Amino acid sequence: MHKPYVYITRKLPEETLSSLREVAEIGMWPFEEEAVPRHVLFQEAKKANGLLTMLSDKIDDELMAQSPSLKVIANLAVGYDNIDIDAAKKKGIAVCNTPDVLTDSTADLTFSLILATARRIVESALYVKEGKWNSWGPLLLAGADVHHKTIGIVGMGRIGEAVARRAKGFDMNILYHNRNRKLHTESGLGATYKEFHDLLKESDFVVCLAPLTAETRGMFNREAFQFMKKSAIFINAGRGASVDEKALIEALQNKTIVGAGLDVYVEEPIDPQHPLLSMSQVVALPHIGSASVETRMKMAELAARNIAKKLSGEEPETQVL
């Protein structure tokens, strides 16, 4: 009996695929840092029973409509806003993500963005490497403290909670805003629930970790930045489209806020000419929230296992629908 066919849209380390190879024939786009062209993805999806996709692949109704054998899509990310969930539901296609295994790594990266932006780490490192350091100065490259400040976390899911745990170690006052209140987080971490605008008004660091949904799209708009303190630093490790980037640029240019640490953007990869990239008060990273070798290996293994299980008639470990 021939095995089901699974297409993987980016080159993954062979050792992460052993569970999948046992039950499926695998086709894989051969490049690590180049996205599969849409026409290739369409050709492959047409004959595939399973797809292992990246957050940069648009998996829409059009693609699913021409993929009659597709049973499961496993996204190599916790977020799955790149997949049309309603279309998958209608067609009975299972969608899986990779939660939990990436929580701590993504929280580490989020916290390093807070530190790097507040303490001007990237600017300072460049200053040394570019030979600009002539003399020690009392306020040379002085930034803002992180310890004992107020952090406002928007999106208190697993990653938000892990960021809050790190903030507690820095003696920070922890505020959060979420779709629903998390009473165990309030008692366990001493976090205080705030309405969105109150959180913006009171936080020194406003951290976006919310998933991208109809409600969160563009929620950090001009009005939101105007609510923030003049000394506020905005951090986004959630999804770029939660932010109106024009409003963010304006807020930085007009000194409505002091700085921004960004791992995600409306368009990825971001255009090198994008105005945000020429601002010294912006730390910009290439969507590397979960990018430690250990975590990316676990994510790939989990995604592969999810497909293997679904195609063998078992329950996937982390199915979102």
Catalytic residue among 239, 296, 301, 305: 239
At residue 80, what is the residue type?
A: Y
Of the pair 279, 291, the CB lying nearest ligand DGY is at: 291
154 lies in the site for ligand DGY, by CB under 6 A: no
Q: How far is the CB of 264 from ligand DGY (least distance, A)?
A: 7
Residue 2 annotated to the active site: no
Of the pair 102, 270, the CB lying nearest ligand DGY is at: 102
54 lies in the site for ligand DGY, by CB under 6 A: no
Residue 305 annotated to the active site: no
Among 27, 79, 218, 275, binds ligand DGY (CB under 6 A): 79
The stretch among 66-74, 200-208, 228-236, 283-291 that binds ligand DGY (CB under 6 A) is 283-291
123-to-218, 262, 273 alpha-carbon distances in Å: 28, 15, 18
241 lies in the site for ligand DGY, by CB under 6 A: no
Q: How far is the CB of 238 from ligand DGY (least distance, A)?
A: 8
77 lies in the site for ligand DGY, by CB under 6 A: yes
The stretch among 29-37, 188-196, 287-295, 309-317 that binds ligand DGY (CB under 6 A) is 287-295
106 lies in the site for ligand DGY, by CB under 6 A: yes
102 lies in the site for ligand DGY, by CB under 6 A: yes
302 lies in the site for ligand DGY, by CB under 6 A: no
The stretch among 24-32, 174-182, 240-248, 282-290 that binds ligand DGY (CB under 6 A) is 282-290
Residue with tokens 């990239």: 277
96 lies in the site for ligand DGY, by CB under 6 A: no
Q: What is the 3-state secondary structure (H, E, C) of the chain?
A: CCCCEEEECCCCCHHHCHHHHHHCEEEECCCCCCCCCHHHHHHHHHHCCEEEECCCCCECHHHHHCCCCCCEEEECCCCCCCECHHHHHHHCCEEECCCCCCHHHHHHHHHHHHHHHHCCHHHHHHHHHCCCCCCCCCCCCCCCCCCCCEEEEECCCHHHHHHHHHHHHCCCEEEEECCCCCHHHHHHHCCEECCHHHHHHHCCEEEECCCCCCCCCCCECHHHHHHCCCCCEEEECCCHHHECHHHHHHHHHCCCCCEEEECCCCCCCCCCCCHHHHCCCEEECCCCCCCCHHHHHHHHHHHHHHHHHHHCCCCCCCECC
163 lies in the site for ligand DGY, by CB under 6 A: no
Among 290, 295, 296, 302, binds ligand DGY (CB under 6 A): 290
* Residue number with the smallest Cβ distance to ligand DGY: 289
Enumerate the active-site residues.
Answer: 239, 268, 287
Question: Which residues are near ligand DGY by CB under 6 A?
Answer: 55, 77-79, 102, 106, 287, 289-290
